[in-house]
Amino acid sequence: MKRVIYSSYTKLIAALLFITSIVLAALTLTNGMTEFFEEKVRLYDFESNFSRSRHMSFLLDEPENTVFNAYMNLYRVGEDEITQPTREEMESAIEDALYNLHCTDNVNYYVRWNDRVFTNCGASSPEEVMYGEFFSYVKKAANAAAVERNTEPYSRRMSYMIEELSRYDLESEIVVATSIKEETVESCKTIWQRQADIVQRTFIIALTFVAFAILLLIYLVCVCGKNRLGEYKNMWLDNIFAEIHLAFIGFSGFFAVMAYMVLLDEYFVGDFSHNMLFVAAGFLAAAAGAIILSSFLSIIRNVKCKRIVKTSIIFIVLIWIYKGLRSFFRVIGYALSRKTCIILISFLLVYTAAIGILGILAAAHSGLWILVGVLTFLFASFLLSYRAKDLDEVKKGVSEIRGGNLAYKIPELHCEDMKLLADNVNCIGKGLDESVSAKLKAERLKTELVTNVSHDLKTPITSIISYAELLSSSEDLTEEARDYVSVILKKGERLKNLTQDLFDISKVQSGNEDVVLEKLDVSLLINQSLGEHDSEIQKSGLPFVVDAPKELYISADGRKMSRAIINLINNILKYTMKNTRVFIKAFENDGEVVMEFKNIASYPMNFSADEITQRFVRADESRTTEGSGLGLAIAKSYTELCNGKFEIILDGDMFKAVLRFKKF
C-alpha cells in the first residue's frame, strides 16, 4: 500500500486530477456567470431571502431621494449668503422631479410638502399607499428635527434623505409614503429566485470541485519529496530559488484572473463567443493551476529535505548578513578585549578629533593652527613608528627560528600583546631546540649502538668463517658434512658482508668517516668497477652498454666512490629482468659530470624513489633474494659524503640511478 501511495504514477494522476478539478471549477463559475449576467435585470445580491432584496429597498427609497434632490438643486450657497428656495419653487421642482421618476410604473407614492400633495395613484392619505409586502412611510413634522419612519414588515432602510433635509428646512412638514406594486413584486420575486438558484447551484458545484482539489493538494503535500522506499528525493525543479517559485505563483494567479476578467468584458460586449470563452477559461485555469502546483510542491519538497535555506535568496542574504555581522562583532570584541587594540583605537579617536578641531581652528583663525596640526601629525607618526618596532622584532625572531637559529630569543618588548606573542615564539624556538637536540642524541646513540654491535660481531663471525674453512679442508668429512660446512661458509660470508655494510653506513651517518678527496677519472672508475664483477656479469647474461668517455674528472674519495658504483652494479645484477640490456653512461652537463645507471626491473616497482634509498629497504618485499637493503643507502651516503648528488628515477619498469658531481 505504501508503494502505491508514494508511487510516481499515483502522484502524477493526483496532480492531473487536481488540475482537472480547478479547470472544472473555473468552467462552472464561467457558466454560472454568463447565465446570471444574461438576465436583463439583475436583482439577486446575495440576500438571505427576497424580503431583504436590495433592489426592493432602492425602489422604496426613490421618492424620498427625489424630494431631497429637488430641494438641493434649488439650494444655493454663495460667498456672502445662503439662498433658500421659495415655496412655489420647491413645489414646482418636486412636481417635475416626481413626474420624471423612472420607477413610477413600479411604485405607488404619496408625497405631501406642507399642504401640497403629489401622488401617482390618486391616494388622498398615506394610509391608502401603505399596503402590500413592501412599503415605507416617512414623516417630518413642521418645526421639528425628529423623523418618524415605518418600514414594516420591510426592516431594511437604505435612505435617510429626509433626515438630511431637516438640516436645511426645519419649518416645512414633509410626508413620503411609498409601496411597490404587487405585479412588480411578483415579477421581481420570480427573477430574484431564478438568479439565486443560478448562483447557489454554481457555487455548490464549484466548491465541490475546489474541495476535491484541496483534498488532492493535501495528499500531494504529504507524499511529495518521497519515493516508494520513503526516502527524500529532489527534482531538478527544486534547484530554482524559492522566491522565483513564489513569483511564478503570484504572477500566474494574477495574470489568469486579469486575463479572465478581460475575456468576460469582451464576451459581454459581444466581441468574444461563448465557446471561445469556455476554451480560454479552461486553458487559463489549467496553465495557472499547473504552474502554481509545481512551484508550491517544489517549495514543500525543499522544506521537507531541509534545503529551503539553500534555495532561498532571502535566507542566503540573511545568512550572509548574519555571518558578516558576527565576524564584525567578533573582530570588535576581540579588539576590545586586547589592551593594545584599545590603546590604538583610543589613540585613533583622539587623533581624529584633534585633527578635526585643529582644521576648524585653522580655517577660522590664523595659520598658527596649521603648524600645530603638522606637529601633531609628526608626533603621531613618531609614536606609531616606535610601537611598530615591536612588530619588527617579532618578525625578525620568527625569521631567525625559521632559518634554523633555534637558540635566538626575541628581546623584551614594550607592547603587552606583542610581548605575549614574543614569549610564545621564544617558547616555540626553545621547544624545537630541545626536540631537535633530543632527536639528534637518539640518532647518535642508535648509530653508536649499531657501530659498536657491528664491530663486536666481526671477531666471532671471522672465527666462524675460519673454523668453517678448516673443516672444509679436512679429508675425513663425509659428503653430507661438507655440504653443511659449505652452507655455513656461505651464510657466514653473507653475515660478514652485512655487518661490514652496517658498520660502514653507521660510520657515515655518525660523521666519523674520513674522506680523502682526489682527482678521479670517471671512465676509469666505472670500467674498474665493472672489471671487478666481470665473472658475475658473464654469468648473468645481461649485456652492459657502457658510454663513458675519457677525461671526465671529478673530485671525490676513490675508495668510497668505487664502493658506491659496485653497489649499484650489484643491485643491477640482482634485480634486472632477463634478456634486457643495462645502460651505463657518463657525460658532462652544465659544468657537472653525470653518471647514469639504467636497467629494466624484474618486479613491480610499487615503491617511491625516496623510500628505496632508506636503510634496510629492499625492492624484494618477500626478502627471498640475497641482499641487506643497505646497498643503495650506502651508495647515496658515500656520494653525498663526497659532495655529490644521488637521485633515483622510476619510469614504468625502468630503474635509473643518477650521480652528479662538479667537474674537476
State how far the Cα of 632 lies from the Cα of 650, in Å rounded to an integer.
Answer: 14
Domain that holds residue 102: 51-180
Per-residue confidence band for 658, with pLDDT thresholds at 50, 70 and 90: very high
% of the chain surpassing 70 pLDDT: 79
In a domain, 300, yes or no: yes
**Which of 151, 180, 209 is the C-terminal boundary of a domain?**
180
Per-residue confidence band for 505, with pLDDT thresholds at 50, 70 and 90: low
pLDDT per residue as tens digits for the range 57-86:
888 888 888 888 888 888 766 555 666 777
Instruction: List Cα–Cα distances, 264 to 93, 267, 303, in angstroms.
Output: 42, 5, 39
**Which of 352, 372, 399 is the C-terminal boundary of a domain?**
399
Per-residue confidence band for 90, with pLDDT thresholds at 50, 70 and 90: confident
In a domain, 440, yes or no: no
What's the domain count of the chain? 4
pTM of the shown model: 0.46
Rg, Å, the chain Cα set: 57
Q: Averaged over 99-105, what is the pLDDT?
A: 85
The reported pLDDT for the residue numbered 311 is 78
Q: Could you tell me if 124 and 243 lie in one domain?
A: no
Instruction: Answer yes or no: is pLDDT of 363 > 80.
Output: no
Q: Could you tell me if 172 and 86 lie in one domain?
A: yes
The reported pLDDT for the residue numbered 393 is 77
In this structure, what CATH number is given to the domain that contains residue 641? 3.30.565.10
Q: Could you tell me if 196 and 174 lie in one domain?
A: no
The reported pLDDT for the residue numbered 595 is 93
- Name the strands in the sheet holding 592-600, side by side, starting at the edge strand that comes first in the sequence: 544-547, 582-589, 592-600, 654-662, 645-651
Q: Could you tell me if 211 and 119 lie in one domain?
A: no
In a domain, 630, yes or no: yes
Q: Could you tell me if 34 and 59 lie in one domain?
A: no
Q: Could you tell me if 93 and 211 lie in one domain?
A: no
Q: Could you tell me if 140 and 198 lie in one domain?
A: no
Q: Could you tell me if 383 and 253 lie in one domain?
A: no
- The C-alpha cell 419649518 sits at 171
State how far the Cα of 631 lies from the Cα of 327, in Å rounded to an integer.
Answer: 58
Q: Could you tell me if 155 and 262 lie in one domain?
A: no
Q: Averaged over 517-535, what is the pLDDT?
A: 88
The reported pLDDT for the residue numbered 618 is 47
The reported pLDDT for the residue numbered 570 is 87
pLDDT per residue as tens digits for the range 296-306:
888 888 887 77
Q: Averaged over 331-356, what is the pLDDT?
A: 66
Q: Could you tell me if 560 and 539 lie in one domain?
A: yes
- Residue environment code for 276-304, b if the CB has 16+ CB neighbours within 10 A, otherwise e: ebbebbbebbbbbbbbbbbbbbbbbbbeb
The reported pLDDT for the residue numbered 93 is 86
Q: Averaged over 469-474, what is the pLDDT?
A: 72
In a domain, 318, yes or no: no
Instruction: Answer yes or no: is pLDDT of 625 > 50.
Output: no
In a domain, 278, yes or no: yes
In a domain, 559, yes or no: yes
Q: Could you tell me if 238 and 374 lie in one domain?
A: no
Instruction: Answer yes or no: is pLDDT of 36 > 80.
Output: no
Count other C-beta atoms under 10 Å from residue 534's C-beta.
Answer: 9
Instruction: Answer yes or no: is pLDDT of 485 > 70.
Output: yes
Cα atoms in the 13 Å half-sphere on the side-chain side of 23 = 16
Within 1-51, strands assigned E span none
The three grid cell numbers given for residue 132, joined into one nine-digit string: 402590500
In a domain, 496, yes or no: no
CA angle 134, 137, 140 (to 5 degrees): 160
* Most confident listed range (142-156, 159-173, 468-482, 600-614): 159-173
% of the chain surpassing 90 pLDDT: 9
The reported pLDDT for the residue numbered 481 is 77
Q: Could you tell me if 354 and 236 lie in one domain?
A: no
Q: Mean pLDDT score of the chain, rounded to an integer?
A: 79
* Most confident listed range (106-115, 405-414, 429-438, 478-487): 106-115
**Which of 399, 420, 448 is the C-terminal boundary of a domain?**
399
Per-residue confidence band for 598, with pLDDT thresholds at 50, 70 and 90: very high
In a domain, 507, yes or no: no
Instruction: Answer yes or no: is pLDDT of 594 > 90.
Output: yes
